[in-house]
Structure 1
């Protein structure tokens, strides 16, 4: 089982509000959320930024969108291969296709078809999906902090490219979080880290629904786009 989270790993994240809410707000006035409002938002959320692992210090900073900039971790990856760097750049534009993405098949939930990589790249990456529903009245404070520490632990130990944290659907309570790893070996190695172990123990007590899914994200040479396929066993990436 790979490291996975149901909360964002930082206490503040930017979102764009639904324009249909009763009290419209300036979309450029980005709100700040804490761990409580992230799990119990007062307004529907249409846009969530991807959380990308910061690149190794030896790699120059990459340009980002001024409209929907991604979030980045404080901790840097120790290394990243060229094809994964291309994916990292493409994932700056990663987003869900609609508000109901948590209930959709993984391949239909996000804008995979819009992610373009260099034609000469050929690589596969390991994806873990966590579908969940919190228990009513469960205490999210300690789990939120454990998730934050586990995420930074995973980045510093290498392999974690992106963590999409999600926000529970206001009507159903369902949530979808996902991690994209450079390899399955990296994901498996994260399981034995102390902060991950603590986060998983707390998670077992906090969720009514707790389902893991695994996929392969594949890029073939000569094709600019990526495909998402169910994981069928074996090693993925390197």
Structure 2
């Protein structure tokens, strides 16, 4: 018997289906067509070919960046408390962040995404901390949802947890991370229907920000709820570097020390 891994629509697909008609009011530049934390309705449909990033909203004192009318990113309701100039440039570049193809879950991180297409000002120099989660949910589940902060796939199985409780915990954990600062972007894919493997990643202003988020109460609660949901759960850590005198970024493995601020 061949096992297939089902999944609910990606949040970007939910947003696309909910996109207002031409006669409806146009969303503001600071919000996505649909709240990325809104509880989605699970139904069948065509797979999403373009999976946008979930970007943290800029601080309220920073002018909003207009969203593209084609494949816009998802934007959080919660705002970052602050952001430095180089990270703001990265945030703008990440509006166009996406995987190269559908094999991202089994592709080395530096080759999985369109890093070469991200451009920043030549005179800026900065490092950011990246965390990658490669996961596989337990076989036999009927569906899953994406954990909005820890970046993992949660099994929707009556043997584990009520979906609404976990979804609410995930929402609060993600909002908590943005509100406390440092989380620039979160991206996650869709589980491979044959292997069940998925990849998710987040980019932080610094390693210190990421470590601090691990001790927040909503994060701890969500982790406790999700701990029994996975067969495979591997963490990888990288440094995203923007050298001065160049307009492009590069990815290297994290080998210790501080990254960022």
Is the TM value for this pair above 0.5? yes
1:70-123 deviation line (CA, Å, top 9, x unaligned) = 110000000000000000000000001111111111111110000000000100
1:1-238 to 2 correspondence within 5 Å? 13-15=11-13, 30-32=16-18, 37=42, 42-135=45-138, 136-137=140-141, 138-139=155-156, 141=163, 142-238=165-261
Indicate conservation of the 8 Å contact 2:10/2:190, yes or no: no
Answer with 1 or 2: which has the greater Rg: 2
Greater relative contact order (CA < 8 Å, ≥ 6 in sequence): 1
2:78 partner SS: strand
2:241 partner SS: strand
Number of equivalenced pairs: 216
Distance 1:52 1:42 in 2: 25
Aligned in 2, Cα 1:203/1:164: closer, same or farther, shift over 3 Å?
same
1:144 offset after TM fit, Å?
3.1
1:35 offset after TM fit, Å?
5.1
Gaps of 5+ in 1: 1-6, 17-28
Aligned in 2, Cα 1:145/1:168: closer, same or farther, shift over 3 Å?
farther
Distance 1:203 1:94 in 2: 27
Aligned in 2, Cα 1:131/1:13: closer, same or farther, shift over 3 Å?
same
Greater shift after overlay, 166-175 or 151-160?
166-175
Indicate conservation of the 8 Å contact 2:11/2:40, yes or no: no
Indicate conservation of the 8 Å contact 2:124/2:243, yes or no: yes
Give the corresponding residue for 1:21: none
Distance 2:190 2:219 in 1: 21
Indicate conservation of the 8 Å contact 2:72/2:95, yes or no: yes
Q: Kindly report the root-mean-square deviation, in angstroms, between the aligned alpha carbons of the 2 structures.
A: 2.4
Indicate conservation of the 8 Å contact 2:82/2:181, yes or no: yes
Distance 2:188 2:222 in 1: 15
1:63 partner SS: coil
State the TM-score, normalizing by the size of structure 1. 0.84
1:42 offset after TM fit, Å?
4.8
1:30 offset after TM fit, Å?
2.5
Distance 1:237 1:230 in 2: 14
State the TM-score, normalizing by the size of structure 2. 0.77
1:202 offset after TM fit, Å?
2.2
